[in-house]
C-alpha cells in the first residue's frame, strides 16, 4: 500500500505556544504567517475561557493543511499549480501560481494563505523536503509539548494511524 502522510495533533497537550509558527517560518524562510493556523476555542470572545469559575475550559485548535485525499483546492486552481504527490502531500508550484486565490476559497479548512510579498498562495508542505530525507516536519521536531505527531496514516502499525484510531479522528 502506498504511503499517505499526515498529522495527528493532541489537543490535550497543545498550549497554543506558537512554537510551530516560529519553526515553520524558520524552516521555510517565511516572513508571513506559518502553515498552521491556530484558533483559540473557549468563551464568546474565543480567546477567553468558557464556563463559570471554577469550571472553566479553553483549548487551542491547530488547523494545518489536511492534505486531503481528494483536495478541493486542486481542481479550483485554473493554472494547475496545485498538485498531489503519491504520498498524499499536496503542494503548490510557485512557478505556475498566478495569485488568483481561487484555492483559498475552495479550502474548507481555510488552511491556504496568501503571501502578498510574492503574490502567491502558500500552504503547509508537511516539510516535504525533510520527509524526502526521512525526517519529520520541523514543527513536529520543535513542538515543546510533543503535541504534533507525523507519520504514515495508511499504515495501521504507525503511531499516527493508531492515535487517529484511538481518538476516532
pLDDT of residue 99: 94
- For residue 1, the model assigns a pLDDT of 61
pLDDT in tens, 52-85: 889 888 888 888 999 999 999 999 999 999 999 9
Instruction: Please tell me what DSSP assigns to residue 9.
Output: E
| pLDDT for residue 46 | 66
Cα 168 to Cα 37: distance, rounded to the nearest angstrom: 22
Residue whose C-alpha is closest to residue 123's, from 109, 141, 135, 144: 109
Nearest to 58 by CA among 15, 6, 119: 15
Write down the pLDDT at residue 106: 97
Please write the tens of the pLDDT for every residue from 96-125: 999 999 999 999 999 998 888 889 999 999
- Residue 2: what pLDDT? 84
> What confidence category does residue 157 fall into, taking pLDDT thresholds of 50, 70 and 90?
very high
Q: What's the pLDDT score for residue 38? A: 84
Report the pLDDT value the prediction gives residue 43, as an integer from 0 to 100: 64
SS (H, E, C) 86-153: CCCCEEECCCCCCCCCHHHHHCCCCCCEEECCCCEEECCCCCHHHHCCCCCCHHHHHCCCCCEEEEEC
Q: Which residue has the higher pLDDT, 45 or 159?
A: 159
List the domains of the chain with CATH numbers. 5-166 (3.30.70.20)
Mean pLDDT of 33-56: 79
> What is the model's pTM?
0.88
pLDDT value of residue 86: 95
Task: Please provide the size of the chain in residues.
Answer: 169
Cβ within 8 Å of residue 133, ≥6 positions away: none
Amino acid at each position: 500500500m502506498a504511503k499517505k502522510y499526515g498529522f495527528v495533533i493532541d489537543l490535550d497537550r497543545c498550549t497554543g505556544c506558537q512554537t510551530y509558527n516560529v519553526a515553520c517560518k524558520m524552516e521555510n524562510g517565511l516572513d508571513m504567517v506559518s502553515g498552521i493556523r491556530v484558533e483559540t476555542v473557549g468563551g464568546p470572545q474565543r480567546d477567553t475561557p468558557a464556563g463559570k469559575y471554577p469550571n472553566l475550559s479553553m483549548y487551542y485548535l491547530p488547523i494545518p493543511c489536511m492534505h486531503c485525499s481528494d483536495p478541493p483546492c486542486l481542481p479550483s486552481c485554473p493554472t494547475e499549480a496545485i498538485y498531489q504527490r503519491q504520498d498524499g502531500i499536496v503542494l503548490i508550484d510557485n512557478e505556475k501560481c498566478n495569485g488568483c486565490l481561487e484555492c483559498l476559497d475552495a479550502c474548507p479548512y481555510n488552511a491556504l494563505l496568501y503571501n502578498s510579498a510574492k503574490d502567491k498562495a502558500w500552504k503547509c508542505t508537511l516539510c516535504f523536503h525533510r520527509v524526502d530525507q526521512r525526517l519529520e516536519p520541523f514543527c513536529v521536531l520543535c513542538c515543546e509539548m510533543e503535541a504534533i505527531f507525523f507519520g504514515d496514516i495508511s499504515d495501521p502499525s504507525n503511531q499516527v494511524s493508531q492515535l487517529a484510531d484511538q481518538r476516532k479522528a
